Amino acid sequence: MSDYFDLARIAELQDAMGSEAGVIVASMLVSLTGAIEDVEAAVAAGALDRTTQAAHSARNDALMLGAGQLQRALSELELVARAGNEAGTRAALERVREVWPATRAGLATAVEN
């Protein structure tokens, strides 16, 4: 298991999907990247409803990919945004920013292999 995602989860996806797994995982990584970009934009705009929706979408992708740290960070972000806590939302976004680059890089490498 990586510090940022569960390699066994990627292997499960590969076993279940066969030769299509790489394409599907890569597509999910693109979706996750877009959702995190949406989170960033929504937080910057102070749009907590949009933040909640984007964090939820990103969290689901992180769950499917076994990216536990990112999933937990996004769950916290979704929770505080839903509660209308702007300061908490910005703080939770910082945690997402801490784990996202390494998660993205690791998943990209896993897709390539």
pLDDT of 11 strictly over 70: no
**Superfamily of chain region 7-112:** HPT domain (1.20.120.160)
pLDDT of 2 strictly over 70: no
User: How far is 71 from 12, CA to CA, in rounded Å?
Assistant: 18
- The pLDDT of residue 54: 96
- The pLDDT of residue 39: 96
Question: Over the stretch 30-76, which tens digit does the pLDDT of each residue have?
Answer: 999 999 999 999 999 999 999 999 999 999 999 888 899 999 999 99
Sole residue written with tokens 């390539």: 112
The DSSP element (H or E) to which 46 belongs, if any, is none
Cβ-proximal residues to 57 (8 Å cutoff; 6+ apart), any chain: 31, 35, 38
Question: Is the distance from CB of 36 to CB of 58 less than 8 angstroms?
Answer: yes
Question: Is the distance from CB of 72 to CB of 12 less than 8 angstroms?
Answer: no
Return the structure tokens found at 37.
């970009």
Half-sphere exposure of 98 (CA within 13 A, CB side): 12
Domain ranges within the chain, ordered by starting residue: 7-112
Average pLDDT, whole number, for the chain?
Answer: 87
Question: Is the distance from CB of 110 to CB of 94 less than 8 angstroms?
Answer: no
pTM summary value = 0.84
Return the structure tokens found at 81.
């945004």
Question: Is the distance from CB of 2 to CB of 106 less than 8 angstroms?
Answer: yes
- The pLDDT of residue 71: 95
